[in-house]
Structure 1
Amino acid sequence: MPEIQTNNLVDRGQLKIQVTSRQRAVPIPNATIEISYTGDPDSVLETVSTDENGQTPVVDLPAPPVEYSMSPSENQPYSEYNLKIHSDEYKPVTISGAQILSGVEGLQPVSMIPEETHTPTEEHPIVIGPHTLWGNYPPKIAESEIKPVNESGEIVLSRVVIPEYIIVHDGPVGDKTAQNYYVRYKNYIKNVAACEIYSTWPRATLEANILAIMSFTLNRVYTEWYRNKGHDFTITSSTAYDHKFIPGKTTYNSINTIVDEIFADYLSRPNVRQPILTQYCDGKKVSCPEWMTLL
C-alpha cells in the first residue's frame, strides 16, 4: 500500500461481510471470501464463509492508530483491503479498497449475479475510492440554502416526505454516460456518511454531520431540484454539486445505528417548510467561513 505502511497498523478494526443475490436480494450461504491487503492482493490474510443469513463472522483486521482519524494528519487513518468473493452458481466478485478504521465494525455489502444471467463473464471489480477527507475531490459549488419555490412552472412537494428510494446519478450533472442507481434512502445516507465523515468520531459529532447530510438530501427531494431541470435523478455523486456516494462502499455500525434512529429528522428555519441545503467543507483543504466544517 503506497500511502500506508503495514508496520503502522498497530490497532484493530472489524469487518463483517453480507452477501446477497442481486436478483432478489436473498442471502447467499456458503460463499467464500478471501481478504488481502490492497497493496498485496495475492497474499491472503483471512478466508471466511457466509452462514445461512449470508453473513460472515466478524473479522479482526489491522488498522492505523485511532488518533489519525481524530484530527488532520499526514497519515492515512484507515487500512485498505481487497475481497474476492466466490459462490457456486454465481459470478465471482472482487472488491478493492474496503476501508477499516480502528475500533469500529465495518459492514461490507456484496451483491452477486447468478451464473445463468446473460451478462459478460467478467465483471469489472468494485473499486472503493479514497475517503473525501483523505482524497482529492472537487469542492462544493456554493448555492443558497433555501430554494425559491414560487417560480412559474416549478414543481415542489406540498410537504417534506422521507422517500423510500432516491435515484443517484453517479457522476457530474451533465455526464450522460454516468449510471443511475436506485438506492434506499437510509442506505444512501449511510453510504454518504461513510464517504464523508470518519466512523471513529464521537457520537454527537457523527449525529450532527449525519443530520446535515439528511437535510441537504431532503432539500433536493423536496424541491425536485434536478427533475425541474429536466433530469431523471434525485441527486448526484459529485462533490461539486452534492455529496460523495460510492457504489459498494463499506459502511460502519457507529454510523448505521444513528441513521436508523434519526433518519426522519432534518434541519429547517423558522417559518420555512423546506429542509436547509446544509453545505459544509473539510475546513482544511477548503475554507468555507459561512458553512459547517468537518475538521
Structure 2
Amino acid sequence: MQQTTDTGMLRINVESALRSTPVEDAVIDISYSGDPENVIEEVRTDSSGRTETLSLEAPPLEYSLTPGEAQPYSEYTFSVSAEGYEKITVSGSEILSGQLSLQTIRLRPIEERETPDVVVIPAHTLYGNYPPKIAEAEVKPVSQTGEIVLSRVVVPEFVVVHDGSPRDTTATDYYVRYKDYIKNVASSEIYSTWPQAALRANILAIMSFTLNRVYTEWYRNKGFNFTITSSTAFDHKWIYGRNIYESISEVVDEIFDAYLSRPNVKQPILTQYCDGNRVICPNWMSQWGSKNLADQGYSDIEILRYYYGDSMYINTAEEVSGIPSSYPGYALRIGSSGDAVRQIQEQLNAISNNYPLIPKIAVDGIFGPATENAVKVFQSVFGLTQDGIVGRRTWYRIQDIYVAVTRIAELYP
C-alpha cells in the first residue's frame, strides 16, 4: 500500500446486469487491492442499489497535480454478493484525494459457477505504460466514396467499443451509452483533481475525437462492426468496469452534446493528444500542459486554441439520439407549467416503478411542491444536487433513466 495521508470518497451502485434494476441489500466487502483478504469495511446497498458515501485513504493531493513516480491514487478491491446473483470481485478501483469516486457494479443472475466473476481495473494512463497514439489526419477526406455516412453531427445513444486493437479478433465488443463512454475515458486518462478548465478542455477533445469516429463511420468503412477501440495507439483508453469521478461526470453531463470544429469543416475534428511528459506531441494537446495552462487562468477554449490553433471552435451537435425530448432551454421549478412539466411528471412516475423511494405524483403539468419533492428524491437517488429544480443536468438524467426503465419494462413485462 502506497503512502496515504489524505482521504477520498466512494459511493457504490449495484444493479442487475440483465435488467439494469437496483439490487437492494447487496453485501460489499472492501479491502486494499494489495491485501484483498483483509476486509477493512463491509457495507450494504439500499433500496436504490446504492451505498452511503464512504471515506477511504488516498495518497497526497499533490501526487496528481504534477508528473512523478509516486502513484497518485489508492487502489481498492470490492467483493460483492447478493441473493440470487453471482458473486463478483472488482479489483483496482482508484481513489483520488478529495474526489468522489462512483463505482457501478453489475451482477448477473445466478448460474452454476464455481468461481466468481473478476473485474481487474488496470493502471491510469498517466501512471501506467500504454502505447502512444499513432498520428492521423485531424480531418478525414470526403472525396472517397462511402467515407462520410452521416449527413449531420449527431450524439449517438450508444457507441460500440472494441476492447482491444482493431484487428484483435479475440477482443470483446461492448455497447456503451455515449455519456458513460466519455466519463469512463476521461476518468482513465486525466485526473479529476485538475482545474475545471483543464477537465473541460480534455473532455471536449475526447468527445470531438469520438464524434469524428461516429460521423465518418471510420471503422465500419474498414469492414469492422464497432465504433471505436480501447487501444491508446488508435483511439482512447476505455476500461471495462472502472470507476468514474463525480467532478468529471458533472462536466460531461453539462457539455455532452459539444464538439470541436473549424470553419468550413463539417465533421468534428479528430483532436489527438498525448500526456506531454513521457510522450511529446507537437501540434497536439498536452494533457499535463493543459493542466498547467488552467493553473495560469486559461479557459477551456484558450487551452484548446493554444494547442490546436485559433481556428478551433466549440460547436453543438444538431441532434441527441435515444432521448424522448431535448432540454427546453430553461429550468423547471416551482411555478412552471406546461407540456415539459407534464412530461417530467410522467417520466418520474415511470422511474418510481424501479426506484420506489421516488414518490408518485399527479400528472397535471403544474410544477408544485409534490413535483419538487419528487425531483429532490430523484436527485438524491442519482447523486445530483438536491435543489428540486429540473435544470439541464437533471433533465437529461431523467431522460436517460426513463429510457432505461421503460425499455426494461418492454423486455420484461
TM-score range, shorter chain: over 0.9
The 5-angstrom pairing of residues 106-185 of structure 1 reads 106-116=101-111, 120-185=113-178
Counterpart in the other structure of 1:244: 237
Aligned length: 288
Counterpart in the other structure of 1:22: 17
Counterpart in the other structure of 1:191: 184
TM-fit CA distance, 1:56: 0.3
When normalised by structure 1's length, the TM-score is 0.96
SS at 2:249's partner residue? helix
Counterpart in the other structure of 1:273: 266
Cα shift readout 1:121-177 (whole Å, capped 9, x = no counterpart): 434410000000000000000000000122123342100010000000000010001
Root-mean-square deviation (CA, aligned residues, Å) is: 1.0
Cα distance in structure 1, aligned partners of 2:69 and 2:237: 22
The answer to whether structure 1 residue 38 and structure 2 residue 42 are counterparts is: no
TM-fit CA distance, 1:120: 4.2
TM-fit CA distance, 1:187: 0.1
Cα distance in structure 1, aligned partners of 2:76 and 2:104: 14
Residues 125 and 189 of structure 2 are in contact (CA less than 8 Å); yes or no, is this contact kept in structure 1?
yes
Cα distance in structure 2, aligned partners of 1:17 and 1:278: 33
Counterpart in the other structure of 2:356: none
199, 206, 214: which one pairs with 1:206? 199
58, 78, 87: which one pairs with 2:82? 87
38, 60, 63: which one pairs with 1:65? 60
Kindly provide the amino acid, as one letter, of the partner of residue 63 in structure 1.
A
User: What percentage of aligned pairs have identical amino acids?
Assistant: 60
Kindly provide the amino acid, as one letter, of the partner of residue 33 in structure 2.
T
Cα shift readout 1:18-74 (whole Å, capped 9, x = no counterpart): 000011100000001000001111111111000000000011000001100001112
Kindly provide the amino acid, as one letter, of the partner of residue 107 in structure 2.
M
SS at 1:125's partner residue? strand
Residues 103 and 244 of structure 2 are in contact (CA less than 8 Å); yes or no, is this contact kept in structure 1?
yes
SS at 1:206's partner residue? helix
Counterpart in the other structure of 1:103: 98
Kindly provide the amino acid, as one letter, of the partner of residue 137 in structure 2.
S
Cα distance in structure 2, aligned partners of 1:267 and 1:210: 11
Unaligned runs of 5+ in 1: none
Task: Indicate the structure whose relative CO is greater, using CA pairs within 8 Å and at least 6 residues apart.
Answer: 1
TM-fit CA distance, 1:204: 1.0
When normalised by structure 2's length, the TM-score is 0.69
Residues 91 and 121 of structure 1 are in contact (CA less than 8 Å); yes or no, is this contact kept in structure 2?
no
Cα distance in structure 2, aligned partners of 1:36 and 1:73: 26
Kindly provide the amino acid, as one letter, of the partner of residue 147 in structure 2.
E
The answer to whether structure 1 residue 49 and structure 2 residue 49 are counterparts is: no
Kindly provide the amino acid, as one letter, of the partner of residue 259 in structure 1.
V
Cα distance in structure 2, aligned partners of 1:113 and 1:179: 18
Counterpart in the other structure of 2:307: none
The answer to whether structure 1 residue 223 and structure 2 residue 206 are counterparts is: no
Cα distance in structure 2, aligned partners of 1:215 and 1:41: 39
Cα shift readout 1:94-134 (whole Å, capped 9, x = no counterpart): 00000000001000010001114xx7443441000000000
Cα distance in structure 2, aligned partners of 1:283 and 1:98: 25
Residues 138 and 271 of structure 2 are in contact (CA less than 8 Å); yes or no, is this contact kept in structure 1?
yes
The answer to whether structure 1 residue 13 and structure 2 residue 13 are counterparts is: no
SS at 1:154's partner residue? coil
SS at 1:289's partner residue? coil
Kindly provide the amino acid, as one letter, of the partner of residue 243 in structure 2.
T
Cα distance in structure 2, aligned partners of 1:123 and 1:11: 32
Residues 160 and 274 of structure 1 are in contact (CA less than 8 Å); yes or no, is this contact kept in structure 2?
yes
Q: Which has the larger radius of gyration?
A: 2
Counterpart in the other structure of 2:392: none
TM-fit CA distance, 1:214: 0.2
Unaligned runs of 5+ in 2: 289-413
284, 295, 299: which one pairs with 1:291? 284
Deviating 4+ runs (over 3 angstroms)? none
Cα distance in structure 1, aligned partners of 2:89 and 2:58: 21
Cα distance in structure 1, aligned partners of 2:243 and 2:146: 40
Residues 28 and 52 of structure 1 are in contact (CA less than 8 Å); yes or no, is this contact kept in structure 2?
yes
Cα shift readout 1:189-231 (whole Å, capped 9, x = no counterpart): 0000000000111111101100000000000000000000000
Kindly provide the amino acid, as one letter, of the partner of residue 104 in structure 1.
Q
